[in-house]
Amino acid sequence: MTDDASVIGAGTPDGLERLWTPHRMAYIKGENKPTGPDSASTGCPFCEMPKLDDDEGLIVARGALVFCVLNLYPYNAGHVMVCPYRHVADYTDLDDAETAELASVTQRAIRVIRYVSAADGFNIGMNQGRVAGAGIAGHLHQHVVPRWGGDGNFMPVIARTKVLPQLLTDTRRLLADAWNSSAVDE
């Protein structure tokens, strides 16, 4: 990612003003990471996101028991997370219905990202517990990270989201629009 790309991506000051809502983004960035025990849902970003509208919360899709949300600081463009609504820390805390929906929404996310961006592969998984690298250890989240040969040489519009939070809105819309499209399954 070059500085030039970020300048191009910034667009007009007017556009930036419309799209950028820093007061909302603070939730997602985890600037106010919960300081209490992991069992406390108060202030947990993954508990707060679903309360926002889809654009503000960067929600790609909402299931009955789990939701799919864009990562604000993606490892790669299109990096999403699948989380239960319920504030639980451990994979074994999920009940059968949550486990099944976490799996099916993860599958859907893979299909949608592949359809939208022609990803060559994926890294899928959870970091469980702080010792394993979980940034927000109190609320389980499954990462779905698309990979390309030579990561980064694909749709420039999406690639810019790595540096420009407001363009995550565009990525979210792309994925959300494809989510319920039957074209994904063809």
Is 23 part of the annotated catalytic residue set? Answer: no
Catalytic residue among 79, 139, 141, 143: 141
Q: Which string of x and - marks every residue 73-112 that binds Zn ion (by CB under 5 A)?
A: --------------x-------------------------
Cβ proximity to Zn ion, 36 vs 125, nearer residue: 36
Which three-class secondary structure state does DSSP give residue 71?
coil
Residue from 46, 67, 122, 179 that binds Zn ion (CB under 5 A)?
46
- From CA 99, how far away is CA 93, in angstroms rounded? 9
CB of 169 to Zn ion, least distance (A): 23
Using CA atoms, how far residue 26 sits from 29, 170, 175, in Å, is 5, 19, 22
Does 6 contact Zn ion by CB under 5 A? Answer: no
- From CA 119, how far away is CA 138, in angstroms rounded? 30
Choices 33-41, 55-63, 66-74, 151-159; region in contact with Zn ion by CB under 5 A:
33-41
Query: Does residue 52 contact residue 59 with C-beta atoms inside 8 Å?
Result: yes
Query: Does residue 75 contact residue 152 with C-beta atoms inside 8 Å?
Result: no
Which residues are marked as active site?
A: 141
Using CB under 5 A as the criterion, which residues of the chain lie in contact with Zn ion when the complex forms?
41, 44, 46-47, 87, 139
